Amino acid sequence: MTDVIVIGGGAAGWAAALAAAQEGATVVLVEKLAESGGSSALSGGCLAFAGTDLQAAADIEDSPDALFADLREVGQDVNDAALVRTYCDEQLEAYSWLGQAGVRFSPVIETASGQSVPRAHTVDPADMVRALKAAALATGRVDYRPNTAALALEESADRPIPAVRLADGSIAEAGRGVVIASGGFAKNPEMLMQYAPGYAEAVFVAGAGSQGDGLRMGLALGADLRDMDYVKGTFGKHPTDETNDHSLQAVYKGAIAVNQDGQRFVDESISYKLLGDAVMAQPWHTAYQIMDQGIFDTGDDRVRILDFGRRLEEGLFYVGDSLEELARQIEIEPAVLVATVQRYNGYVDAGHDPEFGRTCLVHRHGRLRRIETAPFYAYPSTAVVFGTYCGLRIDSHARVLRADGSAISGLFAAGEVTGGFHGAAYMTGSALGKAVVFGRIAGREAAAAAA
């Protein structure tokens, strides 16, 4: 019998395994696919941290309290304040812990969705998972089992901790705790239709293992759910591009979003999850991000969501020497697009957007820019569901809870399989950050649980 069983080999799972091993526990990590990584390895690679040395090096003033305020505001105060507080209190230590595991971050340079200051700490996400895996295996306490699917959790009157039934028919038992870190359900059509019918026609990008296994296992033991009404897609995915899985966020550099009628339809500075809702309500679920050369030049090839140059080279932008020419290319009435841009420029000059209330580039940061310098660019954009951001209810110790608030004995969860942290919307870096912070907590708590 091992001390801790971890189900899933993404960022949350490997963080849990490493943390448990560092506490002296023996760990079995089961991953149903041949390779670990999951949706974490496919992500944009941003983690939301506040008060780091990288921010200080860039003269960025930030703090755990400012991070807390932003997360609560972006989540529209329906997220669990205790979980958010725990994340903010733990994230600086987790940042240093990742560094000790060999994870390297790029300089902090951009303000992203939901952030009042730049706090997106960027990594190669696949490399980060590999670093956590290597560090965990190097402890000599982790037994890694790929191609090993967990099918069910089984309770017994004579066993305080659920056993894990594996696909080969065997039963794995843990002496201290089980951590569910199996990801979301973005690859499960039935669950998506049940919980997110409004996104039936969105693009889905997630790890192949994102089938809702952990959600199903937790529910079978009576676990409560959180945030199931808040499955959302990210705005900015090119609707026909099959090369790039990531979205493009030109709106956060000053672009506007217009629908096929040539009209703006949203405050472009809000969370790209809420922008995802907005674009799904437009004709053909599609919009265009409209910008000029000045905005295009602010792109950054070090940040996937701002790599305008690469997308231009790939032929994904429409480009026109005038707004009229651009409008004809994207089949919008030229006079309408010109009027929309002129009206918006007037709002920028006046410092007030009476249509949608936009005041900043992103969240509460950055001055608006006029769209006036040729050539002009249009990037077709729909919503892409990278993750489901909802699931099992947990507490600040990563214990899985029932509806009455009681904890299921010996059961912990972390990462995308959990709900309650994000609430109604999403800050860039909070999903991968949540996976690491709560994965670490889950592993630590499971290792410390009484046998």
Which amino acid belongs to residue 251?
A: V
d(CA 186, CA 444): 28
Query: How does residue 111 score in pLDDT terms, banded at 50, 70 and 90?
Result: confident
Residues 131 and 28 in one domain: yes
Residue 125 has pLDDT above 80, yes or no: yes
Residue 451 has pLDDT above 70, yes or no: no
Domain boundary among 369, 385, 401: 385
Please, are residues 268 and 358 in contact by the beta-carbon 8 Å criterion?
yes
Residues 250 and 366 in one domain: yes
Residue 173 has pLDDT above 70, yes or no: yes
| Half-sphere exposure in the Cβ direction for 293 (13 Å, CA) | 6
Share of the chain above pLDDT 90, in %: 78
Distances 104 to 48, 123, 252, 261 between C-alpha atoms, Å? 14, 6, 25, 45
Average pLDDT of the chain is 93
Angle (CA) 390-187-274 rounded to 5° is 45
Residue 358 has pLDDT above 80, yes or no: yes
Residues 254 and 395 in one domain: no
Domain boundary among 343, 360, 385: 385
Q: What's residue 396's pLDDT?
A: 98
How many separate domains does the chain show? 2
Share of the chain above pLDDT 70, in %: 99
CATH code where residue 432 lies = 3.50.50.60
Query: Other C-beta atoms within 10 Å of 351: how many?
Result: 9
Q: What's residue 187's pLDDT?
A: 86
Residues 36 and 72 in one domain: yes
Q: What's residue 301's pLDDT?
A: 82
Domain boundary among 337, 358, 385: 385
Residue 387: DSSP 8-state: -
d(CA 156, CA 235): 46
Residues 360 and 392 in one domain: no
Structural domain includes residue 235: no
| Residues 1-46 pLDDT 10s | 999 999 999 999 999 999 999 999 999 999 999 888 888 877 778 9
What is the reported pTM?
Answer: 0.87
E strand intervals along 222-367 = 225-226, 234-237, 256-258, 287-292, 318-320
Residues 246 and 164 in one domain: no
Domain that holds residue 304: 240-385
Q: What's residue 183's pLDDT?
A: 93
